[in-house]
């Protein structure tokens, strides 16, 4: 009987496959539950940035002394299934999580996941809108050391509202701009944010710098268009701040079965509060340059990009995307490895 999981075509080897990082998701096998629109790739990328953000979250005001008696307070905005925050609770003992999502089904899922992992005493989930005044009050009272946010990021054409899990205003930055507003008020030591090359990447990093946060490291994955980004392709083409690559070479690399309309970049970064020093623009141009270069040169733009911060880059083609999903749903749990 043929092996159902054999890769039908060779993968592109210009960049490492993002599936190499999927072992971080091992704890989240069934009966862990996902929201119906959960997408593993941007959540996993936010997990990578969140782990990196822990170093600065632990260090108050740049002090070199780790405050052993100061349990970390983590806030996760747009938490969905709760995976990112719960992952941090598992590796950062004694830390606490306050998380929110506007979707009651997501909050119910996240609460049950916390219980399943034995983390219900250290986590709290609220069903609340990111834009509600209550969100600002909750965060001010909680005084988080670390804010994480893996938000919706697809730009929405005028008079067209996408599903709540996908759309984020005209340029795809609405949720992150609100998150940065909140960060300016409560000033956490560190942040881990995810965004993409469709959602005005320069604006996101420039706005973080404007409020005193410096990018510490950048994580980038090349992927194929999905259901929502594919649906707004013509609008994306019209936006000067959305970066896609439609070349045949790139489309073959992200979807060897020929199913991709274009490729784009998922991005995530960890930021730390640097006060006035953070206000000097340093990384926004670099992030924009990577996106511009990708739109022209495709994968070669992502081979060892050199800039003011370290960058890790990967490729996730449709086949490996499916393998990550299959592993999360239990089919091949524990066997996520790169194809030989």
Ligand X SMILES: C[S@@+](CC[C@H](N)C(=O)[O-])C[C@H]1O[C@@H](n2cnc3c(N)ncnc32)[C@H](O)[C@@H]1O
Contact positions toward ligand X, by CB under 6 A? 35, 38, 42-43, 78, 80-81, 83-84, 100-103, 106, 129-131, 150-152, 164-165
Which of 78, 229 has the CB closer to ligand X?
78
Which of 264, 286 has the CB closer to ligand X?
264
Which of 156, 165 has the CB closer to ligand X?
165
Question: Would you say 139 and 186 are in contact if contact means Cβ atoms under 8 Å apart?
Answer: yes
Q: How far is the CB of 101 from ligand X (least distance, A)?
A: 5
Which of 35, 313 has the CB closer to ligand X?
35
Q: Which two tokens stand for residue 21?
A: 């990082």
Q: How far is the CB of 136 from ligand X (least distance, A)?
A: 13
Enclosing H/E stretch for 125: strand 123-127
Q: Which two tokens stand for residue 167?
A: 């759309």
Which of 223, 295 has the CB closer to ligand X?
223
Q: How far is the CB of 84 from ligand X (least distance, A)?
A: 5
Which of 97, 253 has the CB closer to ligand X?
97
Q: How far is the CB of 141 from ligand X (least distance, A)?
A: 18
> What is each CA distance from 227 to 39, 60, 133, 273, 318, in whole angstroms?
11, 42, 32, 36, 13
What is the DSSP track for 294-312? Answer: HHHHGGGGGSS--SSS-EE
Which of 175, 202 has the CB closer to ligand X?
175
Which of 35, 173 has the CB closer to ligand X?
35
Q: How far is the CB of 51 from ligand X (least distance, A)?
A: 14
What is the DSSP track for 1-53? Answer: ---TTS-SSPPP-SS-BGGGGGGGGGGG-TTS---TT--HHHHHHHHHHHHHH
Q: How far is the CB of 150 from ligand X (least distance, A)?
A: 4
Q: How far is the CB of 37 from ligand X (least distance, A)?
A: 7
Pure H helices in the chain: 40-57, 83-91, 104-116, 133-142, 174-186, 201-210, 227-231, 233-238, 248-254, 284-297, 318-328
Of 117, 74, 77, 116, nearest in space to 96 by CA: 74
Nearest residue relative to ligand X (C-beta):
80
Burial readout 58-72 (b: 16 or more C-beta within 10 A, e: otherwise): bbeeeeeeeeeeeeb
Q: How far is the CB of 110 from ligand X (least distance, A)?
A: 8
CA dist 110 and 114 (Å) reads 6
Question: Would you say 71 and 95 are in contact if contact means Cβ atoms under 8 Å apart?
Answer: yes
């Amino acid at each position: 009987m043929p092996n159902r999981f054999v890769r039908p075509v060779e993968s592109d080897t210009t960049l490492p496959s993002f599936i190499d990082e999927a072992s971080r998701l091992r704890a989240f096998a069934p009966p862990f539950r996902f929201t119906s629109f959960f997408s593993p790739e941007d959540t996993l990328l936010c997990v990578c940035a969140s782990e990196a953000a822990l170093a600065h979250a632990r260090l108050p005001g740049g002090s070199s002394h780790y405050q052993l008696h100061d349990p970390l307070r983590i806030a996760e905005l747009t938490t969905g299934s709760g995976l990112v925050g719960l992952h941090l609770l598992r590796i950062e003992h004694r830390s606490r999580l306050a998380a929110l999502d506007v979707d009651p089904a997501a909050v119910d899922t996240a609460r049950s996941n916390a219980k399943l992992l034995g983390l219900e005493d250290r986590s709290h989930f609220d069903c609340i809108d990111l834009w509600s005044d209550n969100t600002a009050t909750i965060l001010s009272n909680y005084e988080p050391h670390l804010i994480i946010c893996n938000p919706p990021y697809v730009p929405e054409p005028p008079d067209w509202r996408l599903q709540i899990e996908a759309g984020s205003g005209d340029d795809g930055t609405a949720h992150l701009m609100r998150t940065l507003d909140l960060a300016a008020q409560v000033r956490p030591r560190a942040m881990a944010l995810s965004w993409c090359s469709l959602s005005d990447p320069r604006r996101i990093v420039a706005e973080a710098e404007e409020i005193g946060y410096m990018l510490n490291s950048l994580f980038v994955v090349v992927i194929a268009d999905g259901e929502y980004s594919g649906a707004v392709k013509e609008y994306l083409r019209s936006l000067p701040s959305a970066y896609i690559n439609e070349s045949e070479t790139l489309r073959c690399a992200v979807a060897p079965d020929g199913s991709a309309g274009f490729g784009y970049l998922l991005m995530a970064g960890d930021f730390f509060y640097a006060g006035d020093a953070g206000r000097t623009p340093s990384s926004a141009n670099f992030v924009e340059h990577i996106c511009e270069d990708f739109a022209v040169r495709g994968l070669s733009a992502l081979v060892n990009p050199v800039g003011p911060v370290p960058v890790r880059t990967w490729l996730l083609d449709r086949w490996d995307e499916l393998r990550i999903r299959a592993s999360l749903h239990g089919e091949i749990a524990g066997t996520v490895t790169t194809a030989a």
